[in-house]
Amino acid sequence: MRKMEDLNEAVFKATLESIHSILAPDSLLVSYKKPIPEDQKEAAISLAKSLLPGDIIMTQTPGRAYTSLRTMAYSYFDHVAVLVDSETCLQVGPPRVRLIPSYHFLLFSRKPFVLRVKDNIRAQFLENIRSLNNQKYESTKALTTWLYLVLYERFRITLKVPSEDRRICTDSILSALPNIQEIREKYSDCLDFGKIGSHSLNDFLVLEQKGVLDVVKLPFPFNLSDSSIKKDSYAAVARKMAKKQGIEHTVLNIRDAASVAKFAWSLKKTKYRRVYGLLCAIALYMRKMEVPGNELFQILSLVWPKL
């Protein structure tokens, strides 16, 4: 029975890696195996040494696929990890929670943003974090959380994510806070956990705004994102920046879609070119009229050329 589970897990991991290698080659699922330029690696290692165990690292995954996913959920970040020591981070991702070198999360290209728990709970928080190692990651819950968040953000449709105890990065890390139940009750109106039953990456920024977590000022050039934050909270600024990124990448994706549409139109099979031509027309209309949900086409325009 155990061997069968291991086999299924290995097949699932290989499948995910294959998909990500095509659609999101910079995702940690596949990029951690690739060589990193020495200067970038050294800068990330140096940054890790300046942080404390228990620091929470929020990151962006480079590339259009993850930019589209972030934009649809109004999230500036798409992943979060915890520094266990200067050399390793706890990565809550498929297929299982594991420890990987910390420099992968602190590369400049991933725009790291670091939050710090209060000193009086750091030891317990770290102990809880370490206990997560090797637990199974729940990809289904991660996808459901993202979908329900999009439905709420875009259309104010409220659905609750089932199975709170299943492991995804946001829930696992915030659940490791010793006082998380008190926090959820106190800030239920502000947190996405109170709306969809699961924590989002924006919840980390909300907790910083409420004083539960502290921002760690990073050295140059990692602190460039701080320069745009003045009187607004980090949560508000991150939301604005996510929207701005979405507009930029919508233009890029529609440009690519136009070239693909020309190719599709040249196909002999009329039904395919008509369908794709119609999709392009709908997407352009949605964008022009600012119809909510127009970013959905970003995913289509990205995936279609890969098929």
Q: Is the pLDDT of residue 270 over 80?
A: no
Closest to 148 (Cα-Cα) out of 129, 132, 171: 171
195, 151: one domain: yes
- What are the angstrom distances between the C-alpha of 60 and each of 68, 71, 301? 12, 12, 21
Same domain (yes/no): 105, 229: yes
- The tally of domains found in the chain comes to 2
Tell the residue number behind the tokens 């934009």, with chain if given. 71
CATH of residue 58: 3.90.1720
Q: Would you state the structure tokens that stand for residue 222, as one six-digit string?
A: 């990692």
Same domain, 206 and 299: no
Contact (Cβ atoms closer than 8 angstroms) between residue 299 and residue 254: no
Residue 58 has pLDDT above 80, yes or no: yes
204 and 238 Cβ atoms separated by less than 8 Å: no
Q: What is the DSSP letter of 226?
A: G
pLDDT of 300 over the 60 cut: no
Give the model confidence (pLDDT) of 154-203 as tens digits. Answer: 889 999 998 656 689 999 999 999 999 999 999 999 999 999 999 999 99
The H or E element containing residue 219 is none
Range of the domain at 289: 241-306
**CA 38 to CA 55: how far, in whole Å?**
24
Query: Are 228 and 247 found together in one domain?
Result: no
165 and 297 housed in the same domain: no
pLDDT band at 297 (very low <50, low <70, confident <90, very high): low
Q: Model-level pTM?
A: 0.76
Nearest-10 Cα torsion for 160, 161, 164, 169? -130
178 exposed, middle or buried (CB, 10 Å; 0-12, 13-18, 19+)? middle
SS3 state of residue 269: coil
